[in-house]
Amino acid sequence: MLLGALRAEVAAVCGQLAAAGLVTGTSGNVSARDGDLVAVTPSGLDYAALTPGLVGVHRLDGSPVEAPLQPTSELPLHLSVYAATGAAAIVHTHSPAATAVSALVEEIPAVHYYVALFGGPVAVAPYATYGTDELAASVVAALRGRTGCLMANHGAVTIGPGLATAHSRAASLEWLCDVYLRAASAGTPRLLPPGEIDRVVKKIATYGQQPPP
């Protein structure tokens, strides 16, 4: 099976997203890139039924290589993000807090230093019908200088150098949106200054460890 390990990873991440409540039913989509090929979730298939073999492989121009089902309707978005960024993985969710915030604000302000995980305050891409080139262009613009964005009245997108990072960022973005909703519901949140976020961006760049072999 072409890109078997990558397709298995896409299917596994989808299961983890569903278990965490970041997607429901057939909402959202996931992809990962290997050179000129993209492994991407199919359209309209419940994640409980998704197997590695049902994860399609397409070229960067969208043409199928090994795809038993139609790809996600957001394939134009995935391909546009890959063309515009150095990302190797994309996670798109309809998680509750992120979707709620996407209907309220133009960007997630610096209510917590976790905005540094995404390069700074997280933009909300203007609404456009799902699956359209207009939405793809809107998301690409919102991702400039960032590793995540919201899609107005729709959901969230995170990117990364691999699926583990894109998945982790999706969970962090949902947490950040939940914090913002809680703070805003109680009053006017106190925001961190841009200089502090710049400092945290630099600290995060060297944060993290690996266990010894």
The answer as to whether 49 is a domain residue is yes
Kindly report the CATH number assigned to the domain that includes residue 64: 3.40.225.10
Task: Say how many domains are in the chain.
Answer: 1
The answer as to whether 92 is a domain residue is yes
CA distance 132 to 97: 24
The answer as to whether 211 is a domain residue is no
* 74 catalytically annotated: yes
- Tens of pLDDT, residues 38-48: 999 999 999 99
Split at pLDDT 50, 70, 90, the class of 209 is: confident
- Residue 130 sits at φ, ψ, to 5 deg, of -60, 145
* Domain span at 150: 4-204
pTM for this entry? 0.95
The answer as to whether 33 is a domain residue is yes
- Tens of pLDDT, residues 82-113: 999 999 999 999 999 999 999 999 999 999 99
The answer as to whether 125 is a domain residue is yes
The answer as to whether 177 is a domain residue is yes
Q: Are 56 and 69 in contact (CB under 8 A)?
A: yes
DSSP string, 41-109: PBTT--GGG--GGGSEEEETTS-EEE-SSPBPTTHHHHHHHHHHS--SEEEEE--HHHHHHHTT-SEE-
Closest CA to 60 of 78, 42, 86: 78
- Catalytic entry in 9, 66, 74, 106: 74
Residue 145's contacts (CB-CB under 8 Å, 6 or more residues apart) are 119, 120
